[in-house]
Structure 1
Amino acid sequence: MLPEEITGYELDKSVRQQLRTLSKDNAEGVARHLVAAAELLEENPEKALDHAQHAVSRAGRVPAAREALGLVLYRTGEYAEALREFRTARRLSGSDHLLPYMVDCERGLGRYERALELANSPEAQRLPEADNIELAIVVSGVRRDMGQARAAVVGLRLPALQRATTQPWAARLFYAYADALMDLGESDEAREWFVKADEADRDGETDAGDRIDQIDGFELTDLTPEDEDEQDPRLAEIDLSEYGAVQPQRPEATSVEPSETSVDGAANERAVSDDIIESAAPEAESSGERTVPRATFDDGSSRG
């Protein structure tokens, strides 16, 4: 079932032109399925796949339909099937803009040598800048998977790395370079590039801000037990809000007369509080994340 608000005109003009080979009614239906697949890709991949498959069943020789299906399969980790669809779309369109995705599919299948062979093909050497940068990011990931950390860094030292500012691909290139540096153990330099990625990331495509916090040693920990009945009564005496936890509600205390032992009890309680606060201190940890190209159903080359 297609939502009524989807008209099909949301597609890029170049994609709508491909649909002109179909009858008017069929073209409109395919266009709406393609839009639905793109919109549902993040929140409901299964429905996105269903729409993409419907589009291909009605327009199997339209490159944009095969590309759309390939992208959905790619984003869901079905690399062998995605690679087949990308090859078909490439053969039908004659365009090489899907090469970065194809190389990453080979990587996902663990066929690193084949991935590098495809990345070094003559067709790959002719890619426009945006696609070439995307390919370099993927190849860097291949090198890291192969245990070649230094080669992964060197492969991203493109001329574009130094002149990038706010181009669509800038944040992703900065992030990939920083991530590769982390793998090499260069955390100080990596932090500088994560900062650049965070500043260039206008659309929130990366978690560069979180990676900076990890390097700096900041990590919020929720100290509130899932079961309130099991809450440690000692935590009721501590304001945990500044440590990332919700302050538990305490019943109003009744006034009692101080006793001779109250001073020692307060001291012990403060000691327990200090121990718990120290145990709540975060530890920095860095984690590698495999970078992949952003899905799009535009037949163009924008993947920033």
Structure 2
Amino acid sequence: MPDDVQAKDLDKVARNELKTLTKENADWVAMHLVMAGRLLEEDPELAHRHVLSAARRAGRIAVVRESLAISAYAIGDFALALRELRTYRRISGSDEQVPLMVDSERGVGRPDKALELGRSIDRSALTVGAQVSLAIAMSGARLDLGQAELALMELEIPQLDPNKAFSYSPDLFAAYAAVLEELGRTEESAQWQRRADVAARAVFAAEGGGDDETIEVVEEEGEAFADLPGDDAPSAALDDESESAESTDDDDEDDDEDDLDEPSEADEPIELDDPADPDAALDQDVADVELDDSGLDPVHSDSVHIEAATDTDSDAATDAESSDRAAADATDPDEEPRVQNPED
């Protein structure tokens, strides 16, 4: 493990989930999760091995099962990802990873089941980012079935606003452009792809802001400009043999209590470092992991309801959607965005 990796580098909410472990175990698991986050994009295979090591000691922790699912998805093991996502959902009671479950169903060649799963949940109970991710996954499933027109309709949601850019906007705009291209509407496709590029540049430049900040894209004639503050928008199927029920030391407990009072930050970008070679201990950990989640008791709870900040209420966004898009289509999408906070 690199010297600069510390347990405190793990997200505060995730660290709080680990407090049921001993301090030594919690720190060990946290450091492996931190390393997985650093390596996920550059070396997903090694990131996956780190999560497997964490899961060896913390298989009952929701964030660990979620992380294993995400790393499995990253290496293309959609069957394992789906299995671990089901376990995560059962433990946590959250539907926030249903979009990834839908895409994993596509990955194992079951687009019909993917659509069925996506329709089975209340989308309004999801965060806005998860709603967008679900729309993109559902659209992909429609394309898998050759239903391009329906794929387009899946993406026509209030968040498809060419005049404002959130962290999810580049992916949504690009998905819309891809479906338009599939339908042979090449001019419109090119226009939305340009909008996706503009939004991506805006979000990149505004990286580090709060989740609820809005980047307003103003399309004007002349040279592009941008003043940007904004933001950017991963389980092991095994049971712990002898996890201790004792909490971490008093200082950690105090920290955790403080952490619960602070609002969590969502959709933060993963910090990436150069991948390190796995040591012998990590190889042994991976070899020791057995994937079996049969010992976990299902947790039945309602979907997590999280308030998502939007620029207008959902009724107004829906009523204005058609006219906004029509006006946007008549403008030049090549201009750089300008920032506006939701309060403005």
Q: TM-score, normalised by structure 2?
A: 0.58
Q: Which has the higher contact order (CA 8 A, sep 6+)?
A: 2
Distance in structure 1 (CA, Å) of the matches to 2:101 and 2:57 = 24
| Matching of residues 1-304 of structure 1 within 5 Å | 2-124=1-123, 126-162=125-161, 165-202=164-201, 296=234, 302=267
Residue 122 of structure 1 aligns to a residue in which SS?
Answer: coil
The higher radius of gyration belongs to 1
Q: For 1:160 and 1:192, how far apart are their aligned partners in 2?
A: 17
Answer yes or no: is the 8 Å Cα contact 2:103–2:114 preserved in 1: yes
**Structure-1 residue corresponding to 2:220:** none
Partners of 1:303 and 1:196 in 2: CA distance: 22
Query: Contact conserved, 2:72 with 2:80, CA < 8 A, in 1?
Result: yes
Letter of the 1:302 counterpart? D
CA shift, 1:124, in A, is 4.3
Q: 1:263 corresponds to which residue?
A: none
Cα distance in 2 for residues equivalent to 1:53 and 1:121: 30
Comparing 161-170 with 176-185, greater Cα deviation is found at 161-170
Long gaps (5+) in structure 1: 205-293
Alpha-carbon distance between aligned partners in 2 of 1:193 and 1:57, rounded to the nearest angstrom: 45
Is the CA contact (8 Å cut-off) linking 1:134 and 1:303 kept in structure 2?
no
> What are the superposed Cα offsets for residues 263-298 of structure 1, whole Å, 9 maximum, x if unpaired?
xxxxxxxxxxxxxxxxxxxxxxxxxxxxxxx9959x
Verify the 8 A CA contact 1:99 1:135 in the aligned structure 2. Answer: yes
Instruction: State the distance in 2 between where 1:142 and 1:21 align.
Output: 39
- Matched letter for residue 109 of structure 2: G
Deviation at 1:110, TM superposition (A): 1.0
In the TM superposition, residue 46 of structure 1 has moved relative to its aligned partner by 2.0
**Residue type of the partner of 1:28?**
D
Distance 1:295 1:199 in 2: 16
Q: Alpha-carbon deviations, 1:108-159, whole Å to 9, x = none?
A: 1111111111000134452222111110001111111111111111111111
2:267 alignment partner, SS class: coil
Percent same amino acid among aligned pairs? 43
Show CA shifts across 1:231-276 (max 9, x none): xxxxxxxxxxxxxxxxxxxxxxxxxxxxxxxxxxxxxxxxxxxxxx
The structure in which a higher percent of residues are helix is: 1
What amino acid does structure 1 have at the position aligned with 2:67?
A
1:123 and 1:33 map into 2 onto residues whose CA distance is 34
Gaps of at least 5 residues in structure 2 are 205-231, 236-263, 270-344
CA contact (8 A) 1:75 1:295 kept: no
CA apart distance, 1:303: 8.1
- Following superposition, the deviation at residue 181 of structure 1 comes to 0.6
Alignment partners' CA distance in 2, 1:101 and 1:295: 16
Number of corresponding residues = 213
Structure 2 Cα separation of the partners of residues 303 and 180 of structure 1: 28
> Aligned-pair RMSD on alpha carbons?
2.3
C-alpha separation between the residues in 2 aligned to 1:124 and 1:115? 15
Matches of 1:200 and 1:115 in 2, distance apart? Answer: 28
- Paired with 1:152 and 1:199, the residues of 2 have a C-alpha distance of 23
Within 1, Cα distance between the matches of 2:74 and 2:135? 19
Q: Is the 8 A contact 2:123 2:131 kept in 1?
A: yes
Name the structure 2 match of 1:288: none
TM-score (norm 1): 0.66
**What residue is the counterpart of 1:223 in the other structure?**
none
Query: Could you say if the C-alpha distance between residues 30 and 79 of structure 1 is closer, same or farther in structure 2, counting changes exceeding 3 Å?
Result: same
State the SS of the aligned residue for 1:73. helix
For the Cα contact (< 8 Å) 1:171–1:198, is it kept in 2? yes
